[in-house]
Amino acid sequence: MKGLTGKRVLITGASSGIGAGMAKVLAREGCKLVLHFNRNEAGIEKTLKTVTEFGVEASILQCDFRQPETLNAFFQQAWSVFDGLDGLVNNAGVVSKTTALKDADGTQFMNTLAVNLQAPYLLSTAFAKACIAAKQGGAIVNNSSIHAQATCEWFSAYAASKAGLDAMSKVQAVEWGQHGIRVNVLAPGVVPVERTHTILSEPNMAKKWHEKIPAGRYGTTEEMGEATAYLLSDATAWMTGSVLTLDGGLIARGNYPSR
């Protein structure tokens, strides 16, 4: 990807799944990486091993995004690893599934928003302030979901957090464009990761999903990494405030019966 070699990028939630796929592709493109994780130490060590095999510099940092008071110190530490950052990938998130009636006090709802929306807000703002102070531009990629566009039962907290992330990204793109800071969104569809691979690979489940997806298959974590690299690269230098949907056509088709 044009202009990525040597770029310094922080990826949150890089211990597994899409975050690990992003890290692999960005390492292949020559980026220096700060890799965040919360609890999955084995996973982040695996990601670190993968990226360093590409010959790039990489560092690991831990933070629990459910504790917003720790995020500023975490970001300052991340910024200092390579004496600055050129890119921020807000990938860390939780997938919560519950009905509103089962979460009547809103505990799960608020915890979901803390990780999926409040943390990206605080990290993006810290990144923008640091870039402006350093008199440099920057690029932010926020990992959202097709649930921000069309959702279903059990996903009120998750869908709300991702819809908020989409809207927040557009506002920040407008506010920070004058400073050369771009903010774009990646909206993945169904992408099997470690925690969902078994159930999504079950033949009946796979058949049900594949029939709904015009492309006829799931996406991959590396494909999400390729899209992230594109959004961070100079190829999208005039792209900001946009949502890039990668779902094999699932949302475009809607839930109409096959004809």
Q: What is the 3-state secondary structure of 180-246?
A: CEEEEEEEECCCCCCCCHHHHHCHHHHHHHHHHCCCCCCCCHHHHHHHHHHHHCHHHCCCCCCEEEE
Grouping H, G, I as helix, E, B as strand and the rest as coil, residue 32 is strand
DSSP bridge pairs for 36? 61
Closest CA to 66 of 25, 94, 42, 40: 94
Q: Over range 204-221, report the average pLDDT.
A: 96
Per-residue pLDDT reduced to its tens digit, 32-44: 999 999 999 999 9
The DSSP letter of residue 258 is P
The DSSP letter of residue 38 is S
Annotated active-site residue in 158, 218, 230, 256: 158
Q: Is the pLDDT of residue 52 over 70?
A: yes
Assigned architecture for domain 8-246? 3-Layer(aba) Sandwich (3.40)
Q: Over range 53-58, report the average pLDDT.
A: 98
Global confidence as pTM: 0.97
Q: Over range 39-61, report the average pLDDT.
A: 98
Q: Is the pLDDT of residue 258 over 90?
A: no
Rounded mean pLDDT of the chain? 97
121 as an active site residue: the answer is no
Q: How far apart are CA 228 and CA 237, in angstroms?
A: 13
Q: How far apart are CA 239 and CA 202, in angstroms?
A: 39
Q: Over range 113-123, report the average pLDDT.
A: 98
